[in-house]
Amino acid sequence: MRPRTHAGTRSLGALSIAALAAGALTACGAQVDTAGGEPSEATGAGCVDTSGDTVKIGFLNSLSGTMAISEQTVHDSLQLAASEINADGGVLGKELEIVTEDGQSEPTVFAEKATKLITSDCVAAVFGGWTSASRKAMLPVFESQDSLLFYPVQYEGLESSPNIFYTGATTNQQIVPGLDYLAEQGVESLFLVGSDYVFPRTANKIINAYAEAHGIEVLGEEYAPLGHTDFSTIVNKVRSADADAVFNTLNGDSNVAFFKEYSNAGLGPDDMPVLSVSIAEEEIGGIGVENVEGQLTAWNYYQTVDTPENAAFVEAFQAEYGADRVTSDPMEAAYDSLYLWKGMVEKAESFDVADVQEAADGVSFDAPEGTVTVNGDNHHIAKTALIGRIGDDGLIYTEWSSDGPIEPDPFLEGYDWAEGLS
Amino acid sequence: MDILLSQLFAGLSLGSVLLLAALGLALTFGQMGVINMAHGEFMMAGAYTAFVVQGVIGSAGISLLVALPLGFVVGGLLGLLLEATLIHRMYHRPLDTLLVTWGVALVLQQVARDVFGAPNVDVTAPEWLSGAVTIGDVTLPKTRLFILTVAIVCVATLSIALKATPLGRRIRAVVQNRDLAETSGVSSRGTDRLTFFIGSGLAGIAGVALTLLGSIGPTLGTSYIVDAFLVVVAGGIGQIKGTVIAATALGLMQAFFEYSTTASVAKVLVFVVIVAFLQVRPQGLVTVRTRSLV
Amino acid sequence: MTGMTDRLHTLLAPGRTRALAGFALAAVLLFAVAPVLLSPFRLSLLAKFLCLAMVAVGIGLAWGRGGLLTLGQGVYFGLGAYLMAMHLKLADAGPGGVPDFMSLYGTGEVPWWWEPMRSPAATVLLIVLVPAALAGLLGWAVFTRRVRGAYFAILSQALAAAFAILLIGQQQTTGGTNGLNGFRAFFGYDLTDPVNQRMLYLIAAGVLLLMVLVARQLMVSRFGELLVAVRDAEDRVRFLGYNPAAVKTVAYVVAAVMAAVGGALFVPIVGIISPADVGVVPSIGFLVGVAIGGRATLLGPVLGSIAVSWAQTSISEQFPSGWIYFQGALFIVVIAFLPGGLASLVRRRRRRDSAASPPAPELEERPA
Amino acid sequence: MTDLPTTTEPAAIEPEPDTTGPAAEALLGTDTSRFRHDYLEVRGLRVTFGGFVAVRDVDLTVTQGDLRFLIGPNGAGKTTLIDAITGLVGATGSARFGGTELLGRGTHRIARDGVGRTFQTASVFEELTVLQNLDIAAGARRGPSTLLRRRRGTPEAVEQALELVGLGALRDTTAGVLAHGQKQWLEIGMLLVQDAHLMLLDEPVAGMTQAEREATGELLRRIGSQRVVVVVEHDMEFLRSYADSVTVMHQGRVLAEGTVAEVQNDPAVVEVYLGATHTDDEEA
């Protein structure tokens, strides 16, 4: 990994000397040599202090900017989990000390703040991130600093890092079951609508491959720029294609504009159902229940899931943040992530990154969604897929569920039709 | 053929949305030279007004009709406040108004986030606007027809007000020659305030109308502000006519480009067309020639 | 007697020694003090701020001196950054290799316009040439048609919006919203190595100082005087037989190249470039520091930009939403009430003892 | 002078005024023969804004040595005429100077052909010093390498102009703080170093004190003997003192032309001036 540290330093120095005032640099060059003789492995997780009664962990969510809408909710449920754990005696007897940083909805800020949390605050693990861009930006940081990130949102798969635990769904736990469900319902043609970024593009690649293998016709594939607000043209295209169903990977505000247009144009779940993978309970209020009632979603958790753990989770969450608040899949996945980390640490009896990685395999947690288990190979979580239908109260009710938890398969290696996708 | 008509309507409808967003700017930027980046946030304020009104009144059918004039007043008052505190000292620095109002926009967005919460909220469309009118195979959503109507009414009212009322004559007089108007006894301070009030109020109306189409959140305005300015610039300042034509043309272009390519490409293409167009006509579509150094 | 004092004044007072001293002080601070005092994390943060400050130097020249309110510097920053990022991706992939994201999300083939970036020399060249060519073409076209003031500002903003949308839409070749990231090496040197990170900081500091020197030379030269003249009375300059479009284009191109170089260095230091760093909002963000520091001064934009970046990082650590209010308030207060920026406070004091002063910060041209 | 200026041959060049110092001599009197046959010839010039005709079929000839004043009520088209000649607004017809057609060319190219103008509101570069103002005016033909270097010393022409317009002591003063009259002089100085052979001055003495007017008048007279000068002016007393000939414009047309006395007695002119209040349209 570090082929030519010393030579590198000197040559880079020479390079800058060529460009700059030589005197100032020569002085510094010497300094750099002494300071940087040994590249230290220990700048990262090595500085985690576990000697006291507390241990620091970092929460890194966008609390400002466009993504604050979604990420604030994740932050709330992380806080809930942390206070529950602390009330219950902490982790390995140490109280959790939370360091909160704001990702400001910008990937570069996520990278910067992740570095800060790891190297300056010396946290044992970081929880957060939402967009793929923010995760991609943080990944090199966690790998080079050898620290841990718990990422709580369903995503496009095709990734696996020893330093990241993915507690949301990968594609074979959300997209593929969604398609299975539609195929089961006799859907023979699909129209794909998505925002123009990595998740929808990748999801639609998978959908196309699946459709080809299963005799489903894809009648159209449309992308709208993030934040796009005028969907009349796209809805016109959807209408004239007249598919059996629409697979919707739109993100954020665009869903509101899309569904308002969709229902205003007289389309509804009866003539052309829409299966969405980015609309959770949290978003339904903003879209307006009347516009999405009866439409389908694919997730691993709904507020209505009937488990004792969920009842307790919803109750605790609403007690903390208000009875009008709803819980959603990413919030639950974030809540789980803290407990899963706790499980790993307690199994390893150590906060050390390598020990935690070692212990991760098989750690499970009786989550609100049901029991989830960490896959030690790819650091994803075995989860049950749930197809839901949006009710008139704005909550989502399970319509169909997979036969037990699905093992995560981020590269879709277990699916013949997906060959060549990654 | 049907799809052609559908797209034609989609374009006109998008044009009417852009027109609503740009009409107020045509006054404040076109007539007064103030580059108000907070115009989008005034729209947002209008949208939240609709949300609050619905919460108070409850009935969706009436609340929309109440929210429209109320949105005008809310937007207008915000504009008035902005004019009185900041803008009035900056008429000789048009470019600086852009930056100041951008700061105002940032603050207003965060205020909305702190007051109404980060998640988007929804305004229910009234019963009489749900569904669509179908002519042959062409479907025209009623909400879009309504917005088209609102836009037409706003343009008509504004042009009549500018042309036929003493108030409008005062506005035009000050715009055309501030010094002359002042020596003729027109209070330019008062007229400035009034113009800004009306321009910002129109943003409020646009915001209320937009609740029928999209989400209501703190960043509602930012999605429209760049387009709205382009409409005014392409239309040429000083005349409502240019703004109307430019908004319609932009809407149609976006709709047809989007139909034949993708939404992203269409947006880029529209920008390119406008830049190219301004090469041909740097002063926009409709210009009022003055002797001053343009 | 008076002649002597005058000569002394021209030698000493109007900036020459002061500038030299300031420059030396800056060099000492950047090269000697900061690396000792700051932790590696803070140092690479500072390196990032320095990259943003490079954009500010260019804006100070184009906007402060030239009156060109460019709301689209993100485009040039992004061009430089993406060109550099493309090179780093290709270099990581090895000779003939395909960058990881292309095989994951794209066709698995490197598009033709990526190929030149396999060569380090071509990359460095293109980082300067591409933005210069684009700014030159665009500037010349727009300025000869006398698109100016607010029109220019709005056009440049639309350009930034279009550029960001374009980048997002071409995911298979630009990485879309994810942008380009995960670089391992910078011209062959391991980026995770703290020593190399420190060298990157030193390079950024050196390049910034170099840019300040270039900007200073342009400002004190006849061109600089002409630029101010164009800003304040473009038509008057035209009636003297100059083509103001040429003057403006030069300033615009210089600003574009500075932004591009800033972007190019930003990439190895921060480790990522994405459309979120080049669109409308970051483009306006570049102006904050410039306005606050003093747009028409030499060092104002640099110091202002660094101060604002620093404030953003430290304030948002304490109060997440506080930063937004703070930034908004700064913009409002400084521009409305202190258009010359903080530098004008300093100058006001200085003016008493210095007869000849450099051009004071200006107000914008009056509307037509 | 009984001849109408349109038909006058260039008058014999007077010897340099005795008041002239060496600077004026250097700047104004260097090569009189070079400019001997310079004249401005405007034929059928027409400017329209939308449907409104601001300048209508104007013919005008001004020769070197004939200090021409252009008068008329507000909106008569005087400034628009100057705008057209200097390329600021589009026009049809013809305007030739020194054998070159000016119409249809870029403003800065017209300026390089030796046409200079001032503006109603003194427009100097307020942020720059007097010296910098003049230096810029003198430098339109500088190459990039000169431009990118710092100014060292003062170009000779600039030095002479400083002396001529009496701003030598104020050379390092910011132009913005000059008194109004000084700004007007600076503008004239800029025209001189710019080497303009056709000078179009828009109300050069507006707002000046009596003493300043006289000084300006003398200056214009000296310049007028060497270059083609057209002055737009409202001040009748100033006009009577210094004008060689006068052109009266009204509603975009040339109403009358001749010596001061001729024009003053022209009934059409008298009527326009007495009835000026109700024909006074707003500016085009």
pLDDT given for residue D280 in this prediction? 41
pLDDT given for residue D283 in this prediction? 39
D284, pLDDT greater than 60: no
Compute φ and ψ for D258, nearest 5 degrees: 155, -160
Spatial contact of C150 and B222, defined as CB atoms under 8 Å apart: no
A304, pLDDT greater than 90: yes
Q: Which residue has the tokens 């929309």?
A: B64
- Residue B189 backbone class (left: φ over 0; alpha: ψ -120 to 50; beta: rest): alpha
Determine the number of helices (DSSP H) and then strands (DSSP E) in chain A. 14, 15
Q: Which of D54, D80, D282 comes nearest B177 by C-beta?
A: D282
Compute the distance between CA of residue A138 and CA of residue A132 in angstroms, rounded to an integer.
Answer: 10
- Residue B227 backbone class (left: φ over 0; alpha: ψ -120 to 50; beta: rest): alpha
In this structure, of B123-127, B222-226, D24-28, the range with the lowest mean pLDDT score is D24-28
C345, pLDDT greater than 90: no
Compute the distance between CA of residue D24 and CA of residue A373 in angstroms, rounded to an integer.
Answer: 96
Q: Where are the domains of chain C?
A: 40-278
Q: How do residues A355-379 score in pLDDT, each as one tens digit?
A: 999 999 999 999 999 999 999 999 9
B273 to chain A, closest Cα gap in Å: 19
Q: Which residue has the tokens 């009322």?
A: B165
Compute the distance between CA of residue D191 and CA of residue C184 in angstroms, rounded to an integer.
Answer: 62
If DSSP codes are grouped into helix, strand and coil, which group holds residue A275?
A: strand
- Give yes or no for B223 touching D (CB within 8 A): no
B77 to chain A, closest Cα gap in Å: 26
Confidence of residue B34 (pLDDT cuts 50, 70, 90): confident
Q: Which of D49, D74, D80 to mutate to test the interface with B (most CBs of B within 10 A)?
A: D49
Of residues B29 and A194, more confidence is placed in: A194
pLDDT given for residue C76 in this prediction? 98
> Are the beta carbons of C48 and A111 separated by less than 8 Å?
no
B2, pLDDT greater than 60: yes
Q: How do residues B116-136 score in pLDDT, each as one tens digit?
A: 877 788 888 888 888 888 888
Instruction: Pick the most confident of B28-37, B128-137, C11-20, C136-145.
Output: C136-145
Q: How do residues A231-280 score in pLDDT, each as one tens digit?
A: 999 999 999 999 999 999 998 788 989 999 999 888 999 999 999 999 99
Compute the distance between CA of residue C114 and CA of residue C120 in angstroms, rounded to an integer.
Answer: 12
* Cα separations in angstroms, C320 against A102, A220, C309, D218: 6, 42, 15, 70
Spatial contact of C266 and C48, defined as CB atoms under 8 Å apart: yes
Q: What single DSSP character describes residue D150?
A: B
Average pLDDT over residues D109-131: 88
Q: How many percent of chain A have pLDDT more than 90?
A: 73
Average pLDDT over residues B163-180: 77
Size of interface B-C (CB pairs under 8 A): 130
- Listed in sequence order, the DSSP H helices in A20-131 are 22-35, 68-87, 107-115
C86, pLDDT greater than 90: yes
Compute the distance between CA of residue A120 and CA of residue A116 in angstroms, rounded to an integer.
Answer: 5
The angle, 0 to 180 degrees and rounded to 10, between the axes of the packed helices A68-87 and A329-348 is 40
Confidence of residue B164 (pLDDT cuts 50, 70, 90): confident
Compute φ and ψ for A383, nearest 5 degrees: -140, 155
Q: Which chains have 3+ CB pairs within 8 A of B?
A: A, C, D
Chain C residues whose CB is inside 8 A of the D107 CB are 235, 238-239
Compute the distance between CA of residue A158 and CA of residue A168 in angstroms, rounded to an integer.
Answer: 14
pLDDT given for residue B288 in this prediction? 56
- Give yes or no for B177 touching D (CB within 8 A): yes
The angle, 0 to 180 degrees and rounded to 10, between the axes of the packed helices A329-348 and A308-321 is 110
What mean pLDDT value characterizes chain D? 81
Average pLDDT over residues D24-45: 67
Considering only residues 5 to 64 of chain A, which have any Cβ-Cβ distance to chain C shorter than 8 Å? 5, 8-9, 11-13, 15-16, 19-21, 24-25, 27-28, 31-32, 35-36, 39-40, 43, 63-64
Superfamily of domain A47-169+311-382: Response regulator (3.40.50.2300)
On the CB side of C49, CA atoms within 13 Å amount to 23
Q: Which of B7, B131, B212 comes nearest A266 by C-beta?
A: B131
User: Per the domain annotation, does D21 fall within a domain?
Assistant: no
Q: How do residues B236-248 score in pLDDT, each as one tens digit?
A: 876 788 999 999 9
Q: Going along A250-301, which residue ranges are E strands?
A: 274-276, 296-299
Cβ within 8 Å of residue D133, ≥6 positions away: C229, D124, D125, D175, D186, D190
A338 to chain B, closest Cα gap in Å: 24
Compute the distance between CA of residue B104 and CA of residue B36 in angstroms, rounded to an integer.
Answer: 9
Return the closest-CA partner of residue A1 out of A34, A36, A41, A32.
A41
Compute the distance between CA of residue A203 and CA of residue C171 in angstroms, rounded to an integer.
Answer: 13
Average pLDDT over residues D204-214: 85
pLDDT given for residue D33 in this prediction? 47
Q: Which of C29, C31, C36, C324 to mutate to test the interface with A (most CBs of A within 10 A)?
A: C31
Confidence of residue B287 (pLDDT cuts 50, 70, 90): low
Spatial contact of B234 and B274, defined as CB atoms under 8 Å apart: yes
Confidence of residue A38 (pLDDT cuts 50, 70, 90): very low
Spatial contact of C142 and C151, defined as CB atoms under 8 Å apart: no
C265 to chain D, closest Cα gap in Å: 27
Which CATH number among 3.40.50.300, 1.10.3720.10, 3.40.50.800, 3.40.50.2300 corresponds to the domain A172-304+386-418? 3.40.50.2300
Q: What single DSSP character describes residue D176?
A: G
- Give yes or no for B92 touching D (CB within 8 A): no
pLDDT given for residue A314 in this prediction? 97
Compute the distance between CA of residue C189 and CA of residue C268 in angstroms, rounded to an integer.
Answer: 11
> So what's the ipTM on this one?
0.85
* Cα separations in angstroms, B109 against A101, A253, A313, C56, C62: 21, 15, 32, 26, 30
Size of interface A-C (CB pairs under 8 A): 190
pLDDT given for residue D21 in this prediction? 58
Compute the distance between CA of residue D263 and CA of residue D257 in angstroms, rounded to an integer.
Answer: 6
> Are the beta carbons of C222 and D107 separated by less than 8 Å?
no
Q: Output C349-355 pairs: Cβ under 8 A, ≥24 positions apart.
A: C354/C9, C354/C13, C354/C14, C355/C9, C355/C13, C355/D172
Q: How do residues B62-93 score in pLDDT, each as one tens digit?
A: 899 999 999 999 999 999 999 999 998 888 88
Return the closest-CA partner of residue C71 out of B35, B31, B294, B265.
B35
Q: What single DSSP character describes residue C29?
A: I
Return the closest-CA partner of residue C30 out of C195, C196, C194, C208.
C208
Size of interface A-B (CB pairs under 8 A): 123
> Are the beta carbons of C183 and A202 separated by less than 8 Å?
no
What mean pLDDT value characterizes chain B? 87
According to DSSP, the β-strands at B132-135 and B138-141 are: antiparallel
Confidence of residue A28 (pLDDT cuts 50, 70, 90): very low
pLDDT given for residue C361 in this prediction? 38
C38, pLDDT greater than 80: yes
Return the closest-CA partner of residue B25 out of B106, B79, B71.
B79
Compute the distance between CA of residue B107 and CA of residue C333 in angstroms, rounded to an integer.
Answer: 13
- Rounded to a whole number of angstroms, the distance between the first and last alpha carbons of chain A is 25
Q: Which tokens belong to A31?
A: 């300094």
Of residues A347 and B176, more confidence is placed in: A347
In this structure, of A301-305, A349-353, B172-176, B227-231, the range with the lowest mean pLDDT score is B172-176
In the sheet where A164-166 sits, what is the strand order?
Answer: A95-102, A54-61, A126-128, A149-151, A164-166
Q: How do residues A143-155 score in pLDDT, each as one tens digit?
A: 999 999 999 999 9
* Cα separations in angstroms, A68 against A317, B284, C221: 19, 38, 48
Confidence of residue C264 (pLDDT cuts 50, 70, 90): very high
pLDDT given for residue D225 in this prediction? 84
Confidence of residue D141 (pLDDT cuts 50, 70, 90): confident
Spatial contact of B188 and B181, defined as CB atoms under 8 Å apart: yes
In this structure, of A117-121, A188-192, C250-254, D71-75, the range with the lowest mean pLDDT score is D71-75
A19, pLDDT greater than 80: no
A27, pLDDT greater than 70: no
Q: Which tokens belong to C226?
A: 């002409």
Average pLDDT over residues C225-251: 93
Neighbours of D273 (CB within 10 A): 15
- Chains A and D in direct contact, meaning 3 or more beta-carbon pairs closer than 8 angstroms: no
Considering only residues 221 to 250 of chain C, which have any Cβ-Cβ distance to chain D shorter than 8 Å? 221-223, 225-226, 228-229, 232-233, 235-244
pLDDT given for residue C145 in this prediction? 85
Kindly identify which residue of chain D lies nearest to residue B181, measuring between CA atoms. D282
D7, pLDDT greater than 60: no
Of residues C315 and A354, more confidence is placed in: A354
Instruction: Please say whether the dihedral angle defined by the alpha carbons of residues C104, C106, C107 and C108, taken in this order, is positive or negative.
Output: negative
Q: Which of B180, B289, B293 comes nearest D282 by C-beta?
A: B180
**Buried residues in C253-288 as b, exposed as e (16+ CB within 10 A):** bbbbbbbbbbbbbbbbbbbbbbbbbbbbbbbbbbbb
Q: Which tokens belong to D244?
A: 């060689």
Of residues D90 and A361, more confidence is placed in: A361
pLDDT given for residue A286 in this prediction? 84
Domain count for chain D, please give it.
1
> Are the beta carbons of C323 and A158 separated by less than 8 Å?
no
Compute the distance between CA of residue A401 and CA of residue A298 in angstroms, rounded to an integer.
Answer: 10
* Cα separations in angstroms, B112 against A69, B219, C321: 12, 9, 12
Q: Please state the length of chain B.
A: 294
Average pLDDT over residues D172-181: 89
What mean pLDDT value characterizes chain A? 87
Here the CATH number for the domain that contains residue D228 is: 3.40.50.300
Q: Where are the domains of chain A?
A: 5-37, 47-169+311-382, 172-304+386-418
Q: Which of C65, C152, C290, C331 to mutate to test the interface with B (most CBs of B within 10 A)?
A: C331
Compute the distance between CA of residue B194 and CA of residue B173 in angstroms, rounded to an integer.
Answer: 13
C359, pLDDT greater than 50: no
Q: Where are the domains of chain B?
A: 2-227
According to DSSP, the β-strands at A296-299 and A364-367 are: unpaired
Chain C residues whose CB is inside 8 A of the A19 CB are 203, 206-207, 210
Compute the distance between CA of residue D143 and CA of residue D152 in angstroms, rounded to an integer.
Answer: 16
Return the closest-CA partner of residue B202 out of B67, B31, B73.
B73
Of residues D4 and C335, more confidence is placed in: C335
Average pLDDT over residues C104-108: 79
Cβ within 8 Å of residue C96, ≥6 positions away: none
Chain C residues whose CB is inside 8 A of the A120 CB are 39, 41-42
Instruction: Pick the most confident of A15-29, B166-180, D245-259.
Output: D245-259
Compute the distance between CA of residue C330 and CA of residue D34 in angstroms, rounded to an integer.
Answer: 60
Compute the distance between CA of residue A194 and CA of residue A200 in angstroms, rounded to an integer.
Answer: 5
pLDDT given for residue C18 in this prediction? 74
